[in-house]
Amino acid sequence: MQINVNLQGGKAVIVLNGRFDFSTHSEFSSCYSAAIATGSVNEVHVDLGKVDYLDSSALGMLLLLSERAKIANKSVALLNPNEMVAQVLARVRFDRIFSIR
């Protein structure tokens, strides 16, 4: 999986594509760690628009991201999930933990 991070003012947008699972772990965590560590960033967005599948490890990674962001006092939003991904997020009630747009 190719992960891109775009900085747009106070926003860091992490753009994922393809299958979001455990094999993405180290790259994804270094991306969000860098985003959170950037002083000018106060919102981290994860763009799931091109993700066609995510498994439970991916959900775990998103939780870790939210935890880190909370400590750094930054907000997290999940963007553009497709139907399949939205279904999984709804099933585990991640709407209670994240803002999903």
Partner 1 sequence: VKGGGSEAMNDRLKILAVDDEENARVMLKQLIGMMGHEAVLARNGLEAVALFESEAPDIVLMDVMMPELDGFKATARIRQLDPEKWVPVVFLSALHQTGSVMKGLDAGGDDYIVKPVNLSELQAKIRAMQRVIVLQRRLAEERKRLEAHLYRAEEDARLGSHIMDRLTSKAGLRDPALQYWSRPLQRFNGDLVAAARTPGNVLHVMLADAVGHGLPAALNALPLADTFYGMTAGGFPLKRIIGEMNRKIRELLPRDRFVTATLASFDPYKRELQIWNGGNPAPLFVDAGGRVGEIGSANQLPLGLLGEGGAEFQPETIVCREPGQLVMFTDGMCEARGIDGSYWGSAGIRQVLSGASHAERFDRVLAGFESHLGGQALQDDASLMVLDVSLQAPKQVYDPAPAADADAGWKLQLEFGAQELRKLDVVPILTMIVEKLEASDGHRRQLFTILSELFSNALEHGLLQLDSRMKSGCEGFEAYMRERAVRLGALRHGWIEVRLERSSVEGKPAILIGVKDSGPGFDYRAIDFEQGANHTVPYGRGILVAKTLSHELRYHGAGNAVTSCYLLGEVS
Q: Which residues of the shown chain bind partner 1 in the complex (CB under 8 A)?
A: 22, 53, 55-57, 59-61, 63-64, 67, 84, 88, 90-93, 96-97
Closer to partner 1 at the Cβ: 37 or 90?
90
- Whole-angstrom distance, CA of residue 95 vs CA of residue 34: 25
Minimum distance of partner 1 from residue 70's CB (angstroms): 11
- Cβ proximity to partner 1: between 13 and 63 the closer is 63
Residue 33 neighbours by CB under 8 Å, 6+ apart:
68
Q: Residue 11 half-sphere exposure, CB side, CA atoms within 13 Å?
A: 12
